[in-house]
Amino acid sequence: MTTPPIIDTHAHLCGEEFRDDLPDVLKRAWEKGIARVIAVGETFSDAEKNLKLFHHYPMILPSAGLYPTILDIAQARKVHDFIITHQDKLVAIGEVGLDYWKVQAEEEREVQREIFKSFIRLSKKIGLPLNIHSRSAGRHAIDLLLSENAEKVQLHAFDGKASVALKGVEAGFFFSIPPSVARSRQKQKLVRTLPLTALLAETDSPVLGPDPGARNEPKNILRAIEAIAEIKQIAVEKVKEALFENTLRLYGNLLPREPA
C-alpha cells in the first residue's frame, strides 16, 4: 500500500528564521514524506512573500492573513483586497482569529472581533478555508465562528479545553496538532478527546517544535503524527491516511510536487 503524502497545514516560512536555508529545509521535509506546506502569513508583507515563495517552491501553498494582535482596520482591508485579487493562488485565509493573551482591553478586543468577523465573511464569500489563531480565546473564537456560520475552519494549536473544542467538532471544524504535543498535557488531552476525523497536523514552524529551545521545521510534523498514533493507540500509517483525507476534505486536492 502506498504511503499517503503528509501536509503541514500551518507553518511560517517567510521569516528571517528560514532566510538562509529554506531550500534545505524543504528538501529535508520532502525526504520525510511531507508533500506540501501551507505557509500562513501574519501581515500584508507576509502575504506578498508567501506568494513569491509559492512561485519558487512548488511544495509551498500560500495563505494570507492578519495576526490578531494587529488591530489595524486599514491593514485588514489591504489584506482583504490582496486575498480577493489572488484567491486563485491562495489556499487559505490565515492566520486570523483572536488573541486574548496579548490583547486584554475590552475595547481592543472588540476591534479584534470585528476584524475576525470580516475575515470569516470573506471566507464564506470566496470559499477559502480559515486557518485560525485562538490563543487564550478558544471558546470565544468558536462561539464567534458559530454565530457567523463559518463553513471551512482549521483551529491551529488550539490551547482551550477539549470540551470546548468538541463544540467545534460538531460544527465540522478541524483542529491541527503541532509537534509540541509531545510535551503538552493540554494537547495530549485534546488528541485523546477529539475524534481522528477532526484532526490535522501542523508544525507552526519555527515554533512549537518537539524541543522548545530549537528552531522547528516541517520535517518535525512526523513527531506530531507519531504522538497522535501513540495517544490514540492507532498505527502510524493509519493516522497518516486519516490526516491526509481530513486535509483534502478541508483544502481540496493538494497534489504533491517535488521541490525545485
pLDDT of 260 above 50: no
pLDDT at residue 258 tops 70: no
pLDDT above 70 for 222: yes
Residue 118: give the domain boundaries.
6-251
As a whole number, the mean pLDDT across the chain is: 96
User: Does residue 32 belong to any structural domain of this protein?
Assistant: yes
CA distance 117 to 139: 15
Contact 107, 73 (CB under 8 A): no
| Residue closest to 174 by CA, chosen among 7, 61, 43, 51 | 7
**In the predicted structure, residue 19 carries a pLDDT above the cut 60:** yes
Query: Considering the domain boundaries, does residue 104 fall inside one?
Result: yes
pLDDT at 257: 44
- Residue 255 confidence class, pLDDT cut points 50, 70, 90: low
| Three cell numbers, residue 45 | 508583507
Which residues are within 8 A (CB) of 143 and not within 5 positions of it... i.e. 6 or more apart?
A: none
Cα 54 to Cα 98, 111, 127, 251, distances in angstroms: 27, 31, 20, 16
- Please report whether residue 86 resides in a domain: yes
110 is a domain residue: yes
pLDDT tens by residue, 164-214: 999 999 999 999 999 999 999 999 999 999 999 999 999 999 999 999 889
SS3 percent helix, strand, coil of the chain, rounded to 5, is: 50, 15, 35
**Helix, coil or strand: residue 56:** helix
Asked, for residue 260, whether it belongs to a domain, the answer is no
Provide the terminal-to-terminal Cα distance of the chain, rounded to the nearest Å.
Answer: 27
Question: Count of domains in the chain?
Answer: 1
pLDDT of residue 3: 82
Domain of 195: which CATH number?
A: 3.20.20.140
Strand partners, 132: 96, 155
Residue 143 gets the label, from left (phi > 0), alpha (psi -120 to 50) or beta, of alpha
| SS3 label, residue 96 | strand
List, for residues 136-174, the tens digit of each pLDDT value. Answer: 999 999 999 999 999 999 999 999 999 999 999 999 999
Question: Residue 177 has which C-alpha cell?
Answer: 496538532
Q: What percent of the chain has pLDDT over 90?
A: 94
Q: Report CA-CA distances (Å) from 168 to 29, 71, 215.
A: 30, 25, 30
Q: Is residue 258 part of a domain?
A: no
Which has more confidence, 134 or 259?
134
Is it the case that residue 259 has pLDDT exceeding 60? no
Q: Is residue 256 included in any domain, yes or no?
A: no
Cα–Cα distance for residue pair 156/9, rounded to 1 Å:
9
CA-CA distance, 26 to 176, in Å (whole number)? Answer: 20
3-state SS class at 36: strand
Residue 1 is assigned to a structural domain of this protein: no
